[in-house]
A = this chain, B = another copy of it.
Amino acid sequence: MSTIPERIEKLKKIMEKEGIYAYLIPTDDFHCSEYVSDYFKVREYFSGFTGSAGTLLVTMKEVLLWTDGRYFLQAEKELEGSGIKLMKSGEEGVDDIYGYLEKNMPEGGVLGFDGRTVTANAGKKLKKSAKNISYKKDLTKDIFLRPAFPKGKTENLPDSLTGMSAADKLGRIREELKKSGADGIFISKLDDIAYILNFRGSDVSYNPVALSYLYINDEKTRIFIADGKSDIAYHGIIEKPYEEVTGFLKKGQLGNKVMLDPDSVNYLHYRMIKKRAGVINAKSPSQMMKAVKNETEIKHLKDIYLKDSLALTRFIRYLCTTEDELTETGAAEKLFEYRKEIKEFKDLSFETISAYGKNGAIIHYEPSEDNPVRIEKKGMYMVDSGGQYEGGTTDVTRTVVMGELNDKEKEAFTLTAAGMLNILNSVFLKGTAGSQLDVLARGKMWKKGINYKHGTGHGVGYMLNVHEGPQSIRNKAGANECALEPGMLISDEPGVYRDGQFGVRTENILLVKEAFETEDGVFYGFENLTVVPIDHRGMDLKLLNDEEIKQYRDYQKKVYDTLKGYLSEDEAKWLYEYCGLCEECINKDSSLRSE
A-to-B contact residues, CB < 8 Å: 426-429, 431-433, 435-440, 442-443, 446-447, 449-453, 475-481, 516-518, 520-521, 523, 545-548
Partner of A449, one of B440, B442, B523: B523
> In the complex the two chains form, is B443's CB within 8 Å of A429's CB?
no
> In the complex the two chains form, is B432's CB within 8 Å of A475's CB?
yes
> In the complex the two chains form, is B475's CB within 8 Å of A446's CB?
no
A552 to chain B, nearest CB (A): 13
> In the complex the two chains form, is A436's CB within 8 Å of B477's CB?
yes
> In the complex the two chains form, is B428's CB within 8 Å of A446's CB?
yes
> In the complex the two chains form, is A449's CB within 8 Å of B516's CB?
yes
Partner of A436, one of B426, B447, B475: B475
> In the complex the two chains form, is A437's CB within 8 Å of B439's CB?
yes
Assuming A429-B442, A442-B429, is B449 touching A518 (CB within 8 A)? Answer: yes
28 residue pairs A–B, Cβ–Cβ below 8 Å: A426-B446, A426-B447, A428-B439, A428-B443, A428-B446, A429-B446, A429-B475, A431-B476, A432-B439, A435-B436, A435-B477, A436-B438, A436-B439, A436-B477, A439-B439, A449-B516, A449-B518, A450-B518, A451-B521, A452-B520, A453-B520, A477-B477, A477-B478, A479-B479, A479-B480, A545-B545, A545-B548, A547-B547
Q: In the assembly, what is the distance between CA of A476 and CA of B435, in Å?
A: 10
> In the complex the two chains form, is B443's CB within 8 Å of A440's CB?
yes
Closest 9 CB pairs of A and B: A479-B479, A449-B518, A477-B477, A545-B547, A451-B520, A545-B545, A427-B447, A427-B446, A546-B546
Residues of chain B lying within 8 A (CB to CB) of residue A429: 442, 446, 451, 475
* Sample of 15 further A-B pairs with CB below 8 A, known A451-B521, A546-B547: A426-B446, A426-B447, A427-B443, A428-B439, A428-B443, A428-B446, A429-B446, A431-B476, A435-B477, A436-B477, A450-B518, A453-B520, A477-B478, A545-B546, A545-B547
> In the complex the two chains form, is A523's CB within 8 Å of B446's CB?
yes
Residues of chain B lying within 8 A (CB to CB) of residue A438: 436
Determine how many copies of this chain the complex contains. 2
Residues of chain B lying within 8 A (CB to CB) of residue A480: 479
Partner of A450, one of B439, B450, B520: B520
Q: In the assembly, what is the distance between CA of A548 and CA of B547, in Å?
A: 10
User: A435 — nearest CB in chain B belongs to which residue?
Assistant: B477
A39 to chain B, nearest CB (A): 37
Q: In the assembly, what is the distance between CA of A445 and CA of B19, in Å?
A: 62
Residues of chain B lying within 8 A (CB to CB) of residue A437: 439
> In the complex the two chains form, is B477's CB within 8 Å of A481's CB?
yes
Residues of chain B lying within 8 A (CB to CB) of residue A440: 439, 443
> In the complex the two chains form, is A433's CB within 8 Å of B477's CB?
yes
Q: In the assembly, what is the distance between CA of A437 and CA of B521, in Å?
A: 20
A426 to chain B, nearest CB (A): 6
Residues of chain B lying within 8 A (CB to CB) of residue A479: 478-480
A521 to chain B, nearest CB (A): 6
> In the complex the two chains form, is B449's CB within 8 Å of A520's CB?
yes
A464 to chain B, nearest CB (A): 27
Q: In the assembly, what is the distance between CA of A440 and CA of B447, in Å?
A: 13
Residues of chain B lying within 8 A (CB to CB) of residue A442: 429
User: A433 — nearest CB in chain B belongs to which residue?
Assistant: B477
Q: In the assembly, what is the distance between CA of A236 and CA of B440, in Å?
A: 52
A510 to chain B, nearest CB (A): 16
A362 to chain B, nearest CB (A): 16
Residues of chain B lying within 8 A (CB to CB) of residue A452: 520
A405 to chain B, nearest CB (A): 19
- The residue among A429, A449, A451, A521 with the most chain B CB atoms within 10 A of its own CB is A449
Q: In the assembly, what is the distance between CA of A437 and CA of B443, in Å?
A: 9
User: A477 — nearest CB in chain B belongs to which residue?
Assistant: B477
Q: In the assembly, what is the distance between CA of A93 and CA of B516, in Å?
A: 19
Residues of chain B lying within 8 A (CB to CB) of residue A450: 518, 520
Q: In the assembly, what is the distance between CA of A518 and CA of B432, in Å?
A: 31
Q: In the assembly, what is the distance between CA of A91 and CA of B96, in Å?
A: 39
Residues of chain B lying within 8 A (CB to CB) of residue A545: 545-548
Residues of chain B lying within 8 A (CB to CB) of residue A476: 431
Q: In the assembly, what is the distance between CA of A545 and CA of B544, in Å?
A: 10
> In the complex the two chains form, is B443's CB within 8 Å of A426's CB?
yes
A66 to chain B, nearest CB (A): 18
User: A516 — nearest CB in chain B belongs to which residue?
Assistant: B449
Q: In the assembly, what is the distance between CA of A439 and CA of B428, in Å?
A: 8
A478 to chain B, nearest CB (A): 7
Residues of chain B lying within 8 A (CB to CB) of residue A449: 516-518, 520, 523
Q: In the assembly, what is the distance between CA of A432 and CA of B475, in Å?
A: 7
User: A521 — nearest CB in chain B belongs to which residue?
Assistant: B451
- The residue among A437, A446, A453 with the most chain B CB atoms within 10 A of its own CB is A446
Q: In the assembly, what is the distance between CA of A432 and CA of B451, in Å?
A: 12
- The residue among A443, A476, A517, A523 with the most chain B CB atoms within 10 A of its own CB is A443
A448 to chain B, nearest CB (A): 8
A38 to chain B, nearest CB (A): 36
- The residue among A427, A436, A447, A452 with the most chain B CB atoms within 10 A of its own CB is A436
Residues of chain B lying within 8 A (CB to CB) of residue A516: 449
Q: In the assembly, what is the distance between CA of A437 and CA of B523, in Å?
A: 19
